[in-house]
Each structure stands twice: as C-alpha cells, then as structure tokens.
C-alpha cells in the first residue's frame, strides 16, 4: 500500500518481517524512545518478537522510497465494545519526523476505516521540564500526566496519556492509493 501526502512526500507500508527485528532491537535500546511499550528491558530477540505481536490489532513497518524501514506503527490493546485502542510508534532516532507524521496520520485513517475505533490513546514518556505534549506534531488532547513515572538516565520521565477522537478529529486529508 502506498501512502501519499499532498506535499508529495511518499512512503509505503508493509507488515513486519523477520529482518525488521535487528533495527527494532536497536530502536528499543534508544534512550530517547518515548513508548513505554518498547522502552526498558526489551533487548533479546524473543522479547522483541513478543512485544511486536502482543495484543496488536494492526501494525506495519513504514519504509521510505528506497524501501528502508524507518518506523513501526502499532495499534494494540483494543476494546472494540467501547471503541478505543492504543497507538505506539517506534522509529530510529535519525528517522525523518515528516515521514513518521505521514505514517501515523495514514494509520489513524486506515484504523478509522477498518475497525469500530472512535478513540486512540498514546502513552508517552516525556521529561518533566517539557510542558507541551507532542506526538509527532499531530493534534492530540492531554488526558493525564503521571509525574516522575519512569526512570530515565539520572532522573525520571513523566508518563503522558494523550487521546484523539477519530470521529471529531479525523486524520488530516491523505491521498491513499491502493497499489497493493
């Protein structure tokens, strides 16, 4: 499936494959990773495989024009009765944030079209001195903050809980082409 944004920035999405485990292992070890699902003692290949599939309803690896993986977008722990799920994004530290925004926005749109999901929740670890929550520059509302929640270097990070209602705040306009 190809994902296009009107700016002409193109990326493609595909299911995870075994060769993705190496870059996911490196990304999970990144001290700047903000996803509590992936941050911490996820280092062994078996741990990566378990986290990769546990509770996931939809996920894909996003690749650039040269077919290099640069992000994993996951939707997990869905409650279809109440219409919500969690989102996690793993990306190498040097990956383009613009590509990740396209991947996340496209993922939200595909999720909205494919599942009875009305609300998506993001859990992010963030240094306490950073006041404004950000999830790749996409509009979310702050639902809560647990101060000093997770060990980070010499201190602690806050756990932010961000929400986005897909019915009142649909993903931005994306041109989704189906060449799958």
74-108: pLDDT as tens digits: 999 999 999 999 998 887 656 666 777 777 887 88
Task: Specify the pLDDT at position 178.
Answer: 42
The answer to whether residues 124 and 34 touch, using CB atoms and an 8 Å cutoff, is yes
**Whether residue 134 has pLDDT greater than 50:** yes
Task: Specify the pLDDT at position 62.
Answer: 83
The answer to whether residues 175 and 156 touch, using CB atoms and an 8 Å cutoff, is no
Task: Specify the pLDDT at position 129.
Answer: 62
Who has greater pLDDT, 23 or 172? 23
Chain center to CA of 75: 8
Q: Mean per-residue pLDDT for 110-124?
A: 88
Query: Domains of the chain, with CATH numbers?
Result: 2-177 (3.40.630.30)
Who has greater pLDDT, 3 or 175? 3
Coil, strand or helix at 114: helix
pLDDT in tens, 146-167: 888 887 777 888 888 888 888 7
**Backbone phi, psi, residue 106, to 5°:** -65, -40
Task: Specify the pLDDT at position 8.
Answer: 52
The answer to whether residues 95 and 136 touch, using CB atoms and an 8 Å cutoff, is no
pLDDT band at 34 (very low <50, low <70, confident <90, very high): low
* pTM (two decimals): 0.78
**Whether residue 176 has pLDDT greater than 90:** no
**Whether residue 5 has pLDDT greater than 50:** no
Residue 32 to residue 35: CA distance in whole angstroms: 9
Task: Specify the pLDDT at position 96.
Answer: 65
Residue 90 to residue 73: CA distance in whole angstroms: 7
Who has greater pLDDT, 172 or 6? 172
């Amino acid at each position: 499936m190809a994902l296009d944004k009107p700016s002409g920035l193109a990326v493609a999405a595909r299911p995870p494959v075994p060769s993705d485990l190496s870059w996911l292992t490196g990304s999970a070890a990144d001290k700047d990773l903000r996803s509590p699902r992936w941050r911490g003692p996820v280092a062994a290949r078996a741990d990566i495989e378990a986290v990769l599939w546990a509770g996931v309803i939809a996920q894909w690896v996003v690749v650039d024009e040269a077919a290099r993986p640069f992000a994993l977008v996951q939707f997990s722990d869905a409650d279809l009765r109440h219409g919500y799920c969690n989102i996690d994004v793993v990306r190498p530290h040097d990956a383009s944030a613009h590509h990740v925004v396209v991947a996340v926005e496209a993922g939200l749109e595909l999720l909205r079209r494919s599942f009875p999901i009305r609300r998506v929740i993001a859990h992010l670890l963030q240094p306490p001195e950073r006041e404004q929550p950000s999830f790749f520059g996409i509009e979310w509302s702050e639902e809560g903050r647990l101060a000093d929640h997770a060990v980070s270097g010499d201190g602690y990070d806050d756990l932010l809980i961000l929400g986005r209602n897909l019915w009142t705040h649909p993903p931005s306009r994306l041109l989704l082409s189906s060449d799958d």
